[in-house]
Structures are given as C-alpha cells and as structure tokens.
C-alpha cells in the first residue's frame, strides 16, 4: 500500500491563483501555515473536493480522489475524510449524542474504525452527551465537532483553523485534546493555521504557503530553522525540538531531556515524567546568546557546545540570525551585529550557546 498524501493543484480565480505540488507524510499532523490569503483554506477545500482544481491530482495513501488528466473527480461525499471548520456547525435541534450519531450513521458498521466510546473518550465529552449545542461552551462545541468528524472513520482529517473562533482560555482547554488525537490515532491530519504557537505545538510537518505557492515543505524542526524562509527573520523566530526524558531532579524539580541523536541534554523546570517520555519544546532565537567559553558560573541553566552553520540579516538592521548545529539538532540565535563582529563569528566556528529560556509545548 502506498503511504503518503500527494496533491498537485492548480486553480485560477480573477484575483488569486493556487499552484502547489505537495508530497506529504501519510501519518501525523501536517500544518498548512501562512498569512491570510496565502491559499491555506483553498488548498484544503480542493483536497476535500469542495473546490475543483482545473488541473489536479490528489492521492491519499492508495486512494486517488482526483486526476484531471483521466477526468477522474471523486465527489466530496464519497471521499473518506472528516472536515472540521472554525465553527462546529452542530445541529441545534439534536443533543450531543444525536450529533455524534449522525456522523456514525454515515459509515456502514463493518467499515467503522472509530467507535462512539473511543471518540467521546478521546475528546473528553462523555459528560456532555445529553446537552444541546446552545448549552455548550465554544471549546466544548468544537470538541463535539471533532468527535463527529472522527466518527465518519476518515482516511484523512482536515482541520481549518479550528481554534480561530476561540478565546485564549478555550484554546488552552482544547489543545490537549488535539494532542491526544495526534498521539493516539493513526489518521493523518492536515491542519490550517496562521498561529505559529499552534503549529509548533501540534505539527510534525509544515507547509509554508504564500500567495498561492508553497515556499517550503518539510519536518517542522528543520523547516523552522531555515534561514532562507521568512519564518526565521522575525522576533518570534525559533526552533522546535523533541527531547526524551532521561532523569528527574526532585529537589530542584528539573527534567533532563536528551536531544535527538545526541548525548547532549537540556534541563527544564517541569513536573516529573516517566523516563523515555518524549517532550516537545521551543527555543526562541531571542533567548539564545553566544559565548566563546562555556562559563559554568552562570545562572543560565542550559549551555551547549554548538557549531556556526550560517547567518542572515534579521528584520532590522541592528540584528542578525545565526543558525547553529547542536550535534545534528538545529538552533537559531538572534544577536546584534556588534556581537557578531565582536565574536568574529564565521561558519564552522565552535562556541557555546546559552539558552536563557525553554518553552515546553507538549
């Protein structure tokens, strides 16, 4: 069986053109990321069949949904997908259970891969089944909408900015449930967002869209660290790293996380976790300083040996972005041009990165 998502899409509007050629993983979460008007939702709607690309080829694992050369176009209702919009769009006259049953009834019993108990447990909505949508919070409605989409046993789950209509409290309430979907379900997800924080927390793979074209597509850790992309230039530039728990210091409440493919570690303030647990964290470029010596007499907890691999100008004339390598893991540092010249930085140079803050994501 072929595994992966293939989408070649060309679509013209009077004031906008979508022209992308994507080869994406057939598992995990892929984020379609970019500013408003970049083509994220149009791309998603084409994959769903809600828009018909003039020239298109869409293959989800071993199923072809569109091949314009062969005049093949599978209509939306025959595509094994779940679609979650910004608004849950629940049926107001039905209870939560009734809304969920509507999704479940679409799939013949032998083809069901997600059952009612599993969906309600994953989204934490078992206590809401008797309520009607008007008696749910925004976050609860969205969780019910996601559960309803899952109960169609999709081969692909499409999520179009599912947190955009929620306030920060509701977003923080629903994000752990989205992480559970990532961890516990073997259903690939295409997740549209313009929030870099959401993408950093949820995505394994990222597609950066701009003006209807894909500027980049790749694993999130590597792609966020690319100096040739606008993601690296702003004040929010940073990298996402997934470390493995190797120890816990109960006295100081510090986790030790081993970097991927390395013997190097970082330590973060956190509650205890089992050894071997994977924990994702983000390091902002502005929180990394550089030194020619590894000064142990410092309040900075994490000091790591790094190699300079590249540099670009930042979004203002006073700063530069420096790309570093930590034994195979990329890191970015945003420093002044003065510091760059004072340290005489150059590719291949070995020095020390001092990480002032580590933000645990999941």
Residues linked to residue 249 through DSSP beta bridges, in sequence order? 254
- Per cent of the chain over pLDDT 70 is 99
Residues linked to residue 5 through DSSP beta bridges, in sequence order? 24, 60
pLDDT for 297: 77
The CATH class of 238-360 is mainly beta
CB proximity list for 252: less than 8 A, separation 6 or greater: none
Sign of CA dihedral 322, 207, 315, 165: negative
pLDDT band at residue 203, thresholds of 50, 70 and 90? very high
Where exactly are the structural domains of the chain?
5-232, 238-360
- 105-129: pLDDT as tens digits: 877 777 777 889 889 998 999 999 9
What is the rounded average pLDDT of the residues 279-301?
Answer: 89
As a whole number of angstroms, the distance between CA 293 and CA 296 comes to: 9
Are residues 321 and 270 in contact, defined by beta-carbon separation less than 8 angstroms? no
Q: Helix crossing, 168-184 with 116-123: angle to 10°?
A: 130
pLDDT for 2: 63
pLDDT band at residue 1, thresholds of 50, 70 and 90? low
Same fold yes or no, 5-232 and 238-360: no
The CATH class of 5-232 is alpha beta
Are residues 48 and 40 in contact, defined by beta-carbon separation less than 8 angstroms? no
- Between the alpha carbon of residue 91 and those of residues 37, 131, 161, 362, the distances in Å are 30, 12, 20, 33
Report whether pLDDT(362) > 70.
no
Report whether pLDDT(280) > 80.
yes
CB proximity list for 231: less than 8 A, separation 6 or greater: 196, 208, 223, 224, 237
- 53-77: pLDDT as tens digits: 999 999 999 899 999 999 999 999 9
User: What rounded mean pLDDT belongs to the chain?
Assistant: 92
């Amino acid at each position: 069986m072929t595994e992966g998502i293939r989408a070649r899409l060309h679509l013209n509007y009077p004031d906008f053109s979508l022209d992308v050629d994507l080869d994406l993983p057939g598992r995990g979460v892929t984020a379609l990321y970019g500013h408003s008007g970049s083509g994220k939702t149009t791309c998603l709607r084409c994959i769903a069949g809600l828009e018909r690309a003039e020239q298109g080829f869409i293959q989800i694992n071993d199923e072809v949904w569109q091949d314009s050369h062969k005049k093949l176009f599978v209509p939306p209702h025959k595509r094994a997908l779940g679609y979650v919009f910004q608004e849950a769009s629940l049926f107001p006259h039905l209870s939560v259970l009734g809304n969920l049953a509507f999704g479940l009834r679409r799939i013949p019993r032998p083809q069901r891969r997600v059952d009612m108990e599993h969906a309600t447990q994953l989204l934490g909505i078992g206590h809401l089944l008797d309520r009607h949508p008007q008696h749910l919070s925004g976050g609860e409605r969205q969780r019910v909408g996601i559960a309803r989409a899952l109960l169609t046993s999709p081969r692909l789950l499409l999520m179009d900015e599912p947190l955009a209509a929620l306030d920060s409290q509701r977003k923080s309430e629903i994000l752990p449930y989205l992480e559970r979907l990532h961890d516990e379900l073997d259903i690939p997800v295409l997740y549209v967002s313009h929030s870099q924080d959401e993408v950093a927390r949820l995505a394994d793979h990222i597609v950066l869209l701009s003006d209807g074209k894909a500027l980049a597509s790749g694993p999130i850790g590597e792609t966020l660290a690319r100096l040739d992309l606008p993601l690296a230039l702003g004040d929010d530039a940073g990298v996402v790293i997934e470390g493995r728990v190797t120890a816990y210091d109960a006295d100081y409440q510090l986790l030790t996380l081993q970097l991927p493919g390395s013997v190097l570690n970082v330590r973060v303030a956190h509650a205890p976790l089992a050894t071997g647990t994977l924990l994702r964290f983000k390091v902002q470029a502005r929180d990394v300083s550089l030194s020619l010596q590894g000064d142990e007499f410092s309040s900075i907890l994490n000091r790591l040996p790094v190699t300079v691999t590249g540099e670009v100008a930042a979004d203002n004339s006073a700063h530069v972005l420096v790309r570093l390598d930590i034994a195979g893991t990329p890191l970015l540092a945003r420093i002044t041009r003065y510091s760059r010249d004072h340290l005489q930085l150059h590719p291949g140079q070995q020095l020390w990165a001092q990480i002032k803050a580590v933000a645990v994501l999941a």
